[in-house]
Every structure is written in structure tokens, then in C-alpha cells.
Amino acid sequence: MGERRSSRYTTVSIPVPLYNRIRELIRGTGFSSVSQFVTYILREVVAEMERERLESEVVSEEEKRAIIERLRRLGYI
Amino acid sequence: MVSRPHGGRLVDRVVAGRRRIHLLEEARELARLELSAGLAADVANIAHGVYSPLEGFMVREDYEGVLYDMRLHNDVPWTIPIVLDASREELRGVREGDDILLSYRGRPLAIMKVEEIYEWDKVEYVERVYKTRDPSHPGVRRTMARKDLLVGGPIDLLEDPPEPFESVRLWPKEARVLFELRGWRTIAGFQTRNVPHLGHEYVQKAALTFVDGLFVNPLVGWKKPGDYRDEVIVDAYRVLLDKYFPRDSVVFSVLRMEMRYAGPREAVHHAIVRKNFGCTHFIVGRDHAGVGNYYGPYEAWEIFREFPDLGVTPLFIREAFYCRKCGQMVNEKICPHSEEYRVRISGTKIREMLKRGVKPPEYMMRPEVAEAVLRHPNPFIEEE
């Protein structure tokens, strides 16, 4: 399992002063390392950016008409 | 705007029209794998986008990512492996790259492209997912009884498995259209495997105070002995929603998916699934999806801290109780009175009363709901 897990990580560089600030900041917070904190923050930011980029439409107009008909038949509308 | 599908796209692997006819013809020549009811439900859930972004049963890379890191290989949060198990005998002659027919009750259900066949360590699975290897845990017992190999790969659904609750079953696309028609922008999902008591109603209404709509989405399908039967849950909710909720603020729909009783991991899974239906919020209960004393009462709340990118907001609403001094349903945060005035609503006590044919007191359960339950000669699932 060790091989699989190590292959799932890579290295990025951040300025040393920033690293030091984060190290101080996370002391006693439950984050066990700077890497863990940076991963957490990046996931939050990336998810937000992805949300903004995604298409909102998940149902075509044709599908929508058929769905509305079914919803009416079932008494939902 | 309702929630974006998990992973960015609502999966649709339902085959229709000429392609379906063509695939059904092809299926006659394929090796066939007969599925259990639970797996057949998983196939339909994949195809209709309930498990988006999954396009099929997990290959090893996703399976291990979920088991060890609670994430798919592409870093998207996912906490419960969705896997298809099969025996060596069933897979005799099947090779990676082959198409196989998945059937249910002898009828063609889906075509699967076999991407990978791999072994799994069931003990490792139960320790990671259920945090125990105790065979008394219903999820552990069921996992240990599964077959030795896992088959991963995308599926194409040819026919929905039969659904006795078809008239109250919505798929994610349908729920999303309905939410849009109602003009809801914020929707709280409510997961349940129980009939509603006043504690549930309090939590639902507390959530509904802050969002546009409530999506009550009970699970139907396998549950452990002693739990309520599916038809009892459906009947009880019909009565409650009809008499005690504004019609245009709630949508009721069942979801056929097995309970795992995996506590915190399953709470996140339940949230992801409801996100795919369009929910922006998800009500996480105390000891959500728990069983016995395997999980701490608030573990299912704490696990959400690990997912800043979940894309659905958990609502941690404290357990409700009746306070004789306040004269109403309250919770720890809003009631200043001591324990002597508090009447706890115990699901176990309610079950015991109903088993004896006794209607629980009105401060525990709406009389109409109790009557709906008691109309069933045996409201509970019996020992297997």
C-alpha cells in the first residue's frame, strides 16, 4: 500500500517565510503539518473556482418537458 | 440555484431508443452476472446520476483512494466504496476489456465494460469503513459475506429494476427540475430510515426555517432486522407531510439504496448523494447512520471538517426534546431548564411501544403517524 500512497503526492514550492507563518499559525489547531493545511485550503479554493466555471444546465429542454409531464402525472405539480 | 452535481457533471448512463435495442441484442452473446437487489439498485443509482461522478463500479484506483483517503483518484470526496463483487466461478472466462451483461431476477439490467478484476481485503475494508471488525455490526457481517473478487468498470443501464414505490421515486434530474419549478434556490436534504417522530419533525422544520425547501428522502431497500419496513416509512411520512407541512415547501421521494450503518463515513455519503439531487444543505443527525455503540454521538458531525470541498453544507441541528417548563420542543442550546423537566424522545422506546401495539404519547409522535404505523400488522423487519 505504501507505493500507491506515495505515488499520490507531489511537491510544490512556497516561499520559506510563508511556510514559517503557516507553521506558527497551525500550532494547536489540529492540522498536523503545513502540507495538510495547504492541501485543505487549496481544496476549498479549487472547489469554489470549479463551481464558478461549471455549466449550470444538467437537463436539456426536451428532457425537461418529459420530466414535467411525469411530475404532473405523479402529482408532484 | 440548486447544488452543482458532485464532481461537476450529472452522470446519465441510461440507454434508450435504437442503441438500447442494439445492446439488448448484443447482450444475448455476453457472459451474464446475476446481481442481488442491493447491487441492482446501485446500478440504477449510477446510471441515473445518484452516485455522480461515478460512471460505473469502482476500479482499484478509486476503491483504494476511497478506502484510505476518502477520495476518488481525481481527489473528489467519496467515502463509501461502490463495488461489484463476484466469485471466481462467476467470472470464469471473463477478461478485462470484455463486456458482460448484468442481470437482475433473470432480466437484462445493464451492460458493463469490465475494466479491471481485482482482489480485495475484506478485513481491511471493514476496519476502514466501519471502524470495527466485530461481526455483530450489520455492515461488517454483510461485507464479510460478499464474494472474493471485485469487478470495476462503467455500466450502461438497459432497464430499471422494478420499484414498488415508483409513484414516489424521483431521480436526480427529476428532483432538480421540480426544485427549479418551485423556485427553490436552497434545499435541505433529510435522510431517514425511520418513521417520523416529533424530534425528526422539529429538526426538519428548524432546517426549513432557513431554506426554501425540504427534500425528505428515506431509504428503501435492505435494512437490519428491527428497523421499520419500507411501506411503513412511506405511509407514515405521507400522513405527516399531508397534515403538518405546507405542501409547497416539501418534496417527498424514496431512494433505493442499502443502509450500511457506517456512521460518519456514511453521513458524508448521504450528503453527497443528496447533493446530486440538487440539495444545497444536508441535515446530519446525531449518531447519523450509526448502530449500537460503534461511533461517538457527534463523530458524524466531526468528519465533515475534513471536506472543505464537499459542495453541500451540513446542518448540524441538535437533538430535540420536549421541555415541560418551556412547554414545547426545544434543544440543548435554547432550553435553560434542568433534566427533570426534559422528556427525551427515544426511537427505541417508540419502537417498543409500537411493537406492543401501543400508540406513543403525543409529545413523542403525531397520533396520525402512530395510527399509520399500527395499521400494518407487522411494521418491523424480521430476523433474516
Tens digits of residue pLDDT in B47-62: 999 999 999 999 999 9
User: Which residues are B104's β-sheet partners?
Assistant: B107
Q: What is this model's ipTM?
A: 0.88
User: How many degrees, rounded to 5, is the angle at CA A73 between CA A68 and CA A77?
Assistant: 60
User: Which residue, B157, B175, B194, sits at the end of a domain?
Assistant: B157
Q: What is the pTM of this model?
A: 0.92
Contact between B273 and B248 (Cβ < 8 Å): no
Catalytic site residue from B71, B133, B182, B193: B193
The kind and range of the H/E element at B271 are: helix B263-276
In chain B, whose CA is at the least distance from the CA of A59?
A: B173
Confidence of residue B259 (pLDDT cuts 50, 70, 90): very high
- What phi and psi, each to the nearest 5 degrees, are found at residue A51? -60, -40
pLDDT value at B238 more than 60: yes
What dihedral angle (degrees, nearest 10) is formed by the CA atoms of B94, B98, B102, B107?
Answer: -100
Rg (CA), chain A: 23
Q: Are residues B130 and B172 in the same domain?
A: no
pLDDT value at A4 more than 50: yes
Contact between B54 and B82 (Cβ < 8 Å): yes
Q: Are residues B202 and B343 in the same domain?
A: yes
Chain B interface, Cβ < 8 Å to A: 1, 4-5, 8-10, 64-65, 68-69, 75, 167-168, 170, 173-174, 176-178, 181, 251, 307-311
Residue B382, in any domain of the structure: no
Query: Helices A61-74 and B172-182, interaxial angle, to 10°?
Result: 80
Disruptive mutation site among B4, B123, B249 for chain A (greatest number of A CBs within 10 Å): B4
Residue B384, in any domain of the structure: no
In chain B, whose CA is at the least distance from the CA of A53?
A: B8
CA distance A56 to B10: 11
Q: Which three cell numbers stand for residue B58?
A: 469502482
- CATH number reported for the structural domain that contains residue B358 in this entry: 3.40.50.620
In chain B, whose CA is at the least distance from the CA of A1?
A: B64
Confidence of residue A7 (pLDDT cuts 50, 70, 90): low
Residue B354, in any domain of the structure: yes
Residue B383, in any domain of the structure: no
Q: Are residues B359 and B212 in the same domain?
A: yes
Chain centre distance of CA B197: 19
Confidence of residue A57 (pLDDT cuts 50, 70, 90): low
Confidence of residue A2 (pLDDT cuts 50, 70, 90): very low
User: Which residue, B106, B138, B157, sits at the end of a domain?
Assistant: B157
The pLDDT, as a whole number, for residue A9 is: 85
Is B194 labeled as catalytic in the residue annotation? Answer: yes
Confidence of residue A6 (pLDDT cuts 50, 70, 90): very low
Q: Are residues B87 and B224 in the same domain?
A: no
A65 touches chain B (CB under 8 A): no
pLDDT value at B320 more than 50: yes
The pLDDT, as a whole number, for residue B319 is: 85
CB contact under 8 A, A77 and B167: no
CB contact under 8 A, A70 and B174: yes
Lowest mean pLDDT among B20-34, B203-217, B315-329: B315-329
pLDDT value at B342 more than 70: yes
Residue B357, in any domain of the structure: yes
CA distance A74 to A11: 54
Shortest CA gap A67–chain B (Å):
6
Q: What is the pLDDT of residues B73-101, one digit of tens each?
A: 999 999 999 999 999 999 999 999 999 99
The pLDDT, as a whole number, for residue A37 is: 95
Q: Are residues B267 and B136 in the same domain?
A: no
Q: Are residues B206 and B241 in the same domain?
A: yes
Q: What is the pLDDT of residues A10-52, one digit of tens each?
A: 999 999 999 999 999 999 998 999 999 999 999 999 988 887 7
- Domain hosting residue B101, numbered range: 6-157
CB count in 10 Å sphere of residue A61: 7
Rg (CA), chain B: 21
Q: Which three cell numbers stand for residue B221?
A: 431497500
- CATH number reported for the structural domain that contains residue B76 in this entry: 3.10.400.10
Q: Are residues B222 and B360 in the same domain?
A: yes
The pLDDT, as a whole number, for residue B38 is: 97
Confidence of residue B221 (pLDDT cuts 50, 70, 90): very high
CB count in 10 Å sphere of residue B116: 17
- Hey, is B159 helix, strand or coil? coil
pLDDT value at A69 more than 90: yes
Shortest CA gap A30–chain B (Å):
11
A43 touches chain B (CB under 8 A): yes
Q: Are residues B227 and B104 in the same domain?
A: no
A14 touches chain B (CB under 8 A): no
Q: Are residues B207 and B348 in the same domain?
A: yes
Chain centre distance of CA B368: 26
pLDDT value at B120 more than 90: yes
Average pLDDT over residues B184-198: 96
Which among B314, B269, B311, B290 is positioned nearest to B42, based on CA atoms? B269
Residue B380, in any domain of the structure: no
CB contact under 8 A, A71 and B1: no
Contact between B263 and B288 (Cβ < 8 Å): yes
Is B193 labeled as catalytic in the residue annotation? Answer: yes
Considering only CB atoms, which chain B residues are within 8 Å of A68? Answer: 177, 181
The pLDDT, as a whole number, for residue B206 is: 94
The pLDDT, as a whole number, for residue B383 is: 79
Residue B125, in any domain of the structure: yes
**Tally of domains in chain B:** 2
User: Which residue, B125, B157, B189, sits at the end of a domain?
Assistant: B157
Mean pLDDT of chain B: 95
- What phi and psi, each to the nearest 5 degrees, are found at residue B364? -105, -45
Name B334's Cβ contacts closer than 8 Å, sequence gap at least 6.
Answer: none
CA distance B366 to B363: 8
Shortest CA gap A64–chain B (Å):
7
Percent of chain B with pLDDT over 90: 92
The pLDDT, as a whole number, for residue B287 is: 85
Q: Are residues B181 and B253 in the same domain?
A: yes
Q: Are residues B186 and B45 in the same domain?
A: no
The pLDDT, as a whole number, for residue B149 is: 98
Q: Are residues B150 and B171 in the same domain?
A: no
